[in-house]
Amino acid sequence: MNLSKKLGRSMHALAAAFLTFSLMLAQGNAMISASDPAPETDPVSEMQLSQIQTEEENQAVGANSTFAGTDSSGSNADSRYHENKWNFVEDSMDISGGIPEDVYGRLSLIRERGVLRVVTEPYFAPQEFIDPDLEGQDQYAGADMMLARLIAEKMGVSLEIVPLDFTEVLSSMARGEYDLAISALSYTPGRASSMELSKGYYYSSEGAGAGLLIRESDADILKTPADLSGKDLAVQMGSLQELLVAQNITDYSQFRRVPSIQEVYDLVSNQTADAAGVDIESAQLYIKNNPDCGLTLMEDVMFNLEEQFQGDRIAGPKDDLELMYFINGVIDEVLESGQYEAWYEEAAVRASELGL
């Protein structure tokens, strides 16, 4: 698939989303806020993008909708399973006995197949990355990949990890080609309209924010988003950061969208772009592990996300809420035990050793 087709699919999925954000500028404790939506370009979206928390929109996006399928008896949607008002799944099922006997959706298919197929973009350390010292499926390392292995274990099946570019992770999941996408995914209304999303399983220690990456040599002249007027910007296609930057920084020379976060770092480092929208925690780790990269974050600038947009989530095929209830059962255990944080810390150490 060529770049223009990827971009078209990516922006179509993101066009339905709008995030109210604040850029927190510590100098003078000033706050710049934006609440007006970008022009709505998705003709199939029925959401009023600037009123995401109103009751009217909750109805428009299908608050408390149920699985749009049939159960094993051939009846209509199973009323046991629900989305919340933002169209992601918060509730869970008891997974102590593995996949229940009475499942009928994707869970039944996974059990029959004996394999859980998970798609990821393995270039976002420490959540997912490739360990060159390992081979085959073992080479896919990181906290998210450990979570994938635990899910397969709880299901009593083997695991197949499929690596793809990030935009293909999203589009293939929207087409229902894989069982799950585990790739540090954030919630957006556009994603929730085309795939099911789990509850959050990891929240950044920095407050789940995004920021702006610049060169250290430009730190004295690029201090606020207003300083980016006429500059070249870069983002990873399909990312939440793409949406934030595109909707809220409009005065620029060029807006470059590339498939991987490493390409984003490289564009700023080699002066092809002047700034980039990035996940703060991931960028901080990259800068720490690559002290000669010449990059830094624009000081005291952060996109603050509303609660529903915070946290990493797992995606599954749209309308298969039963599968998401099982996934949330695993997430409940991981959150209660603190296991994901332990995986994250271990993966961060290994990513540092690899310079990722």
The per-residue pLDDT for 206 is 53
Consecutive H or E run containing 11: helix 3-14
- Evaluate if residue 131 carries a pLDDT over 90: yes
Model confidence at 218, in pLDDT bands (50, 70, 90)?
A: very high
Q: Between the CA of residue 351 and those of 44, 110, 130, 164, 287, what are the distances in Å?
A: 41, 31, 9, 20, 12
pLDDT band at 13 (very low <50, low <70, confident <90, very high): very low
Whether the per-residue pLDDT at 220 is higher than 50: the answer is: yes
C-alpha distance from residue 32 to each of 82, 244, 246 (Å): 37, 14, 16
Question: pLDDT value at position 271?
Answer: 94
Predicted pLDDT at 78: 67
Write down all domains in the chain, each with its CATH number in brackets: 75-204+309-354 (3.40.190.10), 210-303 (3.40.190.10)
Look over the chain and give the mean of its residue pLDDT values, rounded to a whole number: 79
**What average pLDDT does the segment 139-152 reach?**
97
- Rg (C-alpha) for the chain, rounded Å, is 20
First to last CA, the chain: 27
Go through 56-71 and write b for each residue having 16 or more CB atoms within 10 A of its CB, e for each that does not.
ebbeebbeebbbebeb
Tokens of 175: 């087409």
Closest among 140, 130, 185, 183 to 161, alpha carbons compared: 140
Asked whether residue 236 carries a pLDDT value surpassing 80, the answer given is yes
Point out which residues pair with 232 in neighbouring strands: 254
Q: Does the pLDDT at position 38 exceed 80? A: no
Decide if pLDDT at 35 tops 70.
Answer: no
pLDDT tens-digit readout, 61-84: 333 333 333 443 333 356 788 877
Least confident span in 146-155, 198-207, 213-222, 291-300: 198-207
pLDDT computed for residue 301 by the predictor: 85
- Position 299 pLDDT exceeds 60: yes
